[in-house]
Amino acid sequence: MKINVTSVMVAEHQLILRMIALVEHNTEQMEQGRFRDWQFFLDAIDFIRNYADRFHHAKEEDVLFVELIKNGMPEKNSPIEAMHMEHDQGRAFIRGLEVAAQKAMDGETGQLRVISANARGYASLLRGHIDKEDNILYPLAERVLPETVRTGMLAAYQQAETKTPELEAKYRQLVERYERQTDA
């Protein structure tokens, strides 16, 4: 039986989707005039940059995608190029969200539309992106990657995780705290 090299990323997607659900909920509440906690958006940006981008995407971009290319998947005009492009699009939404949320936090009016557009754009992009990875790219990777590279990939994932000890626990607690506030 082959070692599964994508299940760890599917599991990480679940925490990312929980944060996306919070972003969607709080954006809707903001649009209805019932939410003005700008710090939430800044915390969501921190989560996205550090957990989703640096922690999770590092495994994809620096380990999984590299092994797929080494094992025959083209780098250009391929699912890998599409995933890189979507990662970059997500980063652009987050930059826009950060600027608007910081302005709102500093008391500048007129930021609701910008926050909403960037938050909704990111959430929509990421939901589709995760669906493609979980249901197309990762199953493909499990079919094509040889057993000989799998142990090394898991070791590389572990090495990436040791660079940021306690990061996953920190962001899981952040998501849980905001989920409790939403449920209250």
CA distance 18 to 34: 21
Per residue in 82-133, pLDDT (tens digit) is: 999 999 999 999 999 999 999 999 999 999 999 999 999 999 999 999 999 9
Q: Which of 136, 128, 149, 132 is nearest to 5 (CA)?
A: 149
Tokens of 148: 């000989």
Long-range Cβ contact pairs of 166-173 (< 8 A, separation 24 or more)? 167/50, 167/51, 167/55, 168/15, 168/51, 168/55, 171/15, 171/19, 171/47, 171/50, 171/51, 172/15
Ordered structural domains, the chain, with CATH:
7-183 (1.20.120.520)
Name the pLDDT band for 176 (thresholds 50, 70, 90): very high
Q: Can you tell me the distance from the alpha carbon of 127 to that of 130, in angstroms, rounded to the nearest whole number?
A: 5
Model confidence pTM above 0.75:
yes
